Amino acid sequence: MTRSPSIVDQLREGPVLGDGGYLIELERRGYVASGTDQEQVGTGRGSGQFTPEVAITNPEALRSLHQEFLKAGSQVLQALTFFAAREKLTRAGYGRETERINEAAVRIARDTAGDQARVAGTISRTQLFERDGPTAAAHARDLFAEQLRLLESAGVDFLIVETFFRLDEALIALKCARRTSLPILATMSFRPVTTQSSDGKSVAECAQALVDEGAHIVGTNCEQEPRRMLEVLRRMRDAVDVPIAGQPAAFRTSDECPCFTRMPEFPDDLESIQLPRREFTRFVRTARSEGVGYIGGCCGCNAAYVRAMRNGLS
Ligand SMILES: [Zn+2]
């Protein structure tokens, strides 16, 4: 496969199919801890749950999932560096392995991708803002800078700055990411409501602010199922003129609780709200016709969902 120079150029030529969600799938397979016995999950404050040490504890499990996504048609593999900032790993007992985990995650994704897919390094919210408030900014900045240095030196093709509930924290991450020379895809996750970030900025304001801070592609990921996420994507598309990315979760939410990590089913009863993959085929067709360029899945999407999305694109 011949790859164009960057993910941004590739999006100018046509849609790009991403991959699915890693941590939820690897938790189901027994390689990631959900943390249910350690804390009240779904609070957003977090301690040790859903951390990505699988990259060093069971690398073959991670490699297998990458291979499944690639075979299903993913044109991008996300290195499993979500929640791999030192502070979050420390809470899970893996802080001293921060370098190893980030490097291993990128290497495993890169080995699997070969020349068939791009490799993205992801950074995500630190959970410090939920715990300590805006005074966490300086600490968060240091954590982002460290992880970005690791990702850049491990050799990712581009960055995904993702799953931010607060715009202020996303902008700090983005400012750090801009110091690299890598293209940046930035996505917010809307929780507890779909109309604004948890620090009170509208969807359109978020999209515009991410672009103003230097994101090349903006969008939303996680928390909502495709139908609910489409509304968010439309608001973003109408607000900015950079490529738009959508990576929904595969769980049914409700009008009262439109985010799956606050549903009572999270994390141990998610099977009871699992969506059929067909909804992702429909999502891709609608999203595509409405101008969404980068399309993938998040939590709850395994390779079957990526295949369903590929069918929607073809
Ligand atoms: Zn997710």
21 Cα–ligand 1 center, Å: 6
Q: If you measure from the C-alpha of residue 176 to the centroid of ligand 1, how many angstroms do you get, rounded to a whole number?
A: 23
Query: What distance in angstroms lies between residue 166's CA and the mean position of ligand 1's atoms?
Result: 16
What does the DSSP assignment read for 185-209?
EEEE---S-SSB-TTS-BHHHHHHH
Cα 153 to chain centroid distance, Å, stands at 21
CB 27 within 8 Å of CB 51 = no
Q: Which residues are within 5 Å of ligand 1 (an ion), measured at CB?
A: 21, 222, 298-299
What one-character DSSP code corresponds to residue 109?
Answer: H
**93 CA to centre of ligand 1 in angstroms:** 23
Which 8-state DSSP code applies to residue 296? Answer: -
C-alpha 25 to ligand 1 mean position (Å): 10
Burial per residue of 84-115, b for 16 or more beta-carbon CB atoms within 10 angstroms, e otherwise = bbbbbbbbbebeebbeebbbbbbbbbbebbee
pLDDT for the residue 2: 47
59 cis-preceded (ω within 30 degrees of 0): no
Distance 116 CA to ligand 1 centre (A): 24
Among 161, 2, 12, residue whose Cα is nearest residue 78: 161
Centre of ligand 1 to C-alpha 41, Å, is 15
- Distance from Cα 108 to the centre of ligand 1, integer Å: 20
List the beta bridge partners of residue 122: 160
> 223 C-alpha vs ligand 1 centroid, how far in Å?
6
Q: Where are the beta strands (DSSP E) in the chain?
A: 16-17, 76-78, 118-124, 158-164, 184-188, 217-221, 244-247, 294-295
Cα of 249 to ligand 1 centre, how many Å?
A: 6
In order of their start, the domains of the chain are 14-313 (3.20.20.330)
Q: Distance from the CA of 56 to the center of ligand 1, in angstroms?
A: 21
What's the gap in Å between 138 CA and the centre of ligand 1? 26
149 CA distance to ligand 1 centroid (A)?
24
Can you give the pLDDT at residue 281? 98
The pLDDT profile of the chain, 314 residues, written as one tens digit per residue, is 446 689 999 999 999 999 999 999 999 999 999 987 665 555 544 555 899 999 999 999 999 999 999 999 999 999 999 999 999 999 899 999 999 999 999 999 999 999 999 999 999 999 999 889 889 999 999 999 999 999 999 999 999 999 999 999 999 999 999 999 999 999 999 999 999 999 999 999 999 999 999 999 999 999 999 999 999 999 999 999 999 999 999 999 999 999 999 999 999 999 999 999 999 999 999 999 999 999 999 999 999 999 999 999 99
Residue with tokens 């085929």: 281
